[in-house]
Structures are given as C-alpha cells and as structure tokens.
Chains A and B, each alone.
Chain A
C-alpha cells in the first residue's frame, strides 16, 4: 500500500484559525452600505421637509394678516348662553382675551421713532456756509 502523503483534509481540528467574526460577507457589506445610504437620504429628506414646512407656514402666517395687534375675534370666545363661573372654558377664553387686549394696549408702539424719515443731506454743496 502506498502511503498517502497529501495534506490532511481541512476539517475538525485541521481548520485554519481565522478571525471570522471580524469579517463580513459580501451580502452583509452590501447591506451596511445600503443602510448608510438610507440614513443619509432620511436626514436629507427631514431637513428639506422642515425647511419647506417652515417656509410654507411663514407664507401662510404672513397672509393671515398677523400684525402687532390681533384684529379679528377668535371663535372660542363667543358668548355662552348661561353665565358660568370663571372655570368654564368660555369664561376663561373671555378673561384671556381681555388680558391680551390690555397687554396690546400697553405695548402698542404709536410713535415708531425708528422709522421717522432719516435726516439726510439733500442739498449737497461744495461751499462752506458761514
């Protein structure tokens, strides 16, 4: 019988020692790249959504005629059929409205000094006036 001089089969204790945990299969690598790409896309989308929302809300609020003073009555303060003690929502709404109105009266700027016409030299001349 001829002695088999070939290398023993790679099984059992003969398996080479390798850091298999550190390695990732191509499928896993692909999955990680995909996840990374997805999260970037998600962040981008979120930022775009916030800005679009902010812009839309800004335009909406501007059109809503919201100045320093609220002009139109809010619907929640409609008179209720029966006068309730101050705990009722209508009464609270009314009280808030009165407070808000008083605050507006105190804070309203009826001078607008910063926006008075600027003092400019309209008559620019090259003569020194005595």
Chain B
C-alpha cells in the first residue's frame, strides 16, 4: 500500500512540474496549429473554387459553398487564436504590464476576440448558405483588415518595447548598485578611476534609452497609420530601434562586469 501511495505522489509531483510550461506554451501552439490548418483548408477551397469556375454545375457549386464556409470559419479561428496568443504575451511581459497602453491593447484584443467569435457564430448559423451570403460575411473581415493588422503590430511592438524597457531598467539598477559599491572603496584613486568607467556605463544606458524613445515614436506612428505598408515599415523601424538598444545594453553589461571585477579583486 505504501508503494502505491508513493507512486501516486510521484505522478502528482510530475504533473505539477510539467503543467506550468505546458500552459505557457499552449496559446502559441494553438495559434500555430490553427494557422497550419488554415493553409490546408485554403488549398481545399481553391480546388473547389477552380472546379466550380470550370464546370459551373450545381453539384460543384455546393462543394464550393461548403469549402468557402469552412475557410471563413478557419480564417476567423486563426485571427482569434493569434489575438489570444498576443494577449497572453502582453500579460506576461515584464515591461508591459506597468504600462497603460499595454492594458488598453489587452482590452482591445479581448473585444476583437469576442467580435470574431460572433462572426463565426453567424456563419455557422446560416441554414441555407449561398455564395452571396458568405461573401457578405467575408467582406466584414476584409473591411477590418487594416484595423486587425494594426492591432496585431501594435501589440507586438508593445511586447518588444516591454522587454527592452525591462532590460534597460535592470541595467540602470545595476549601475546604481555599482556606484554605491564604488563610493565605499577605501582607495580614493581607484574610486575615481572606477567612477570614470561607470560614466561610460551611464553613456551606454543613456544611448539605449534614446533608442527606446525612438522605438516608442515608431509605435506611436504605427498606431496612427492606416495603410498596411506603412504599418510594416514602422514596425520594422521599431525592431531596429529595440535591437540597437539591446546592443548598447550589451556594451553596458560588459563594462559593468569589468568594474565589478575590479571591485572584487582589490
């Protein structure tokens, strides 16, 4: 009996250990799975559509209607899971939650998820769906294309900015600690030398901050943009800015380590 109890305990512990990372990855996996499924369904749809356009018969028309209905449902499902994955990332990225715009984006994503679910419900509830009915429902998503993409790019931009903001805050915090350590150095000459080095770290932190601000401007431009091409451009600029900020922080941490080494071995 004791062995049995031990076995159950081990299973329970293993389940607990594996459950958290599984939940963390679930949203992204779900989205990627739905996207893959969409690609398959799209192929089926193009075959049915081409067949209908070629033969123009009623039987193939029915097949085309069914394929179109399936495709519209799946397209909504991809968008829905994509937004849920973005929402999950926004909620779990350190530098985002403190930010007001992050909360605003989460609420917008929520609303869009509900709207997409309603659209899917409407498609499913069509009893005798015709191609025309389905085109009308499809156009609703088409009309929102720019809006949906803007929301996705904004969320992604906010996630990237959140990450780099958190790293920058950590670098500043370490610099402050180093400053305190240097001020307690017994040798005044060495303290002066290390303070000069620390100033270099400060410069790198400042430069990374400048890049973060440039990225924030790009995010603002992205928010205001209505053309998809423009959104892609602003997002790509934002990516460059956050990566530059990271490079400055890498230089900063290398200096910080050097200073720390001097503190330790003297």
> Could you tell me which A residues sit within 8 Å of B by CB distance?
39, 42-43, 46-47, 50-51, 53-54, 58, 61-62, 65-71, 73, 77-83, 85-86, 91, 94-95, 97-98, 101-102, 104-105, 108-112, 114-118, 120-124, 126-128
**CB-CB < 8 A to B257: which residues of A?**
98, 102
B234 at interface (Cβ–Cβ under 8 A)?
Answer: no
B1 at interface (Cβ–Cβ under 8 A)?
Answer: yes
The secondary-structure label for the interface of chain B is: helix
> Could you tell me how many residues of chain B have their Cβ less than 8 Å away from some Cβ of chain A?
82
**CB-CB < 8 A to B93: which residues of A?**
67-69
**CB-CB < 8 A to A46: which residues of B?**
5, 8-9, 12
Bound complex: CA A65 to CA B119 (Å): 33
Which residue in B4, B131, B153, B170 is a CB contact (below 8 Å) of A69?
B170
Q: What 5 A-B pairs come out closest when comparing CB atoms? A: A79-B180, A67-B94, A50-B12, A71-B94, A71-B166
Bound complex: CA A79 to CA B259 (Å): 14
**CB-CB < 8 A to B23: which residues of A?**
58
Which residue in B12, B42, B169, B263 is a CB contact (below 8 Å) of A121?
B42
Bound complex: CA A116 to CA B40 (Å): 20
Whether the pair A98, B92 counts as a contact (CB closer than 8 A) is no
Tell whether A117 pairs with B250 under 8 Å between CB atoms, given A69-B166, A83-B185: no
Interface stretch, picked from B79-87, B106-114, B122-130, B216-224, is: B79-87
**CB-CB < 8 A to B89: which residues of A?**
112, 115
**CB-CB < 8 A to A108: which residues of B?**
163-164, 167, 246
Whether the pair A71, B5 counts as a contact (CB closer than 8 A) is no
> Could you tell me which B residues sit within 8 Å of A by CB distance?
1, 4-5, 8-9, 12-13, 15-16, 19-20, 23, 28, 31-32, 35, 38, 42, 49-50, 52-53, 64, 68, 71-72, 75, 78-79, 82, 85-86, 89, 91-97, 131, 135, 138, 141-142, 145, 148-149, 152-153, 156, 159-160, 162-164, 166-167, 169-171, 173-174, 177, 180-181, 184-185, 239, 242-243, 246, 249-250, 253, 256-257, 260, 263-266
**CB-CB < 8 A to A104: which residues of B?**
167, 170
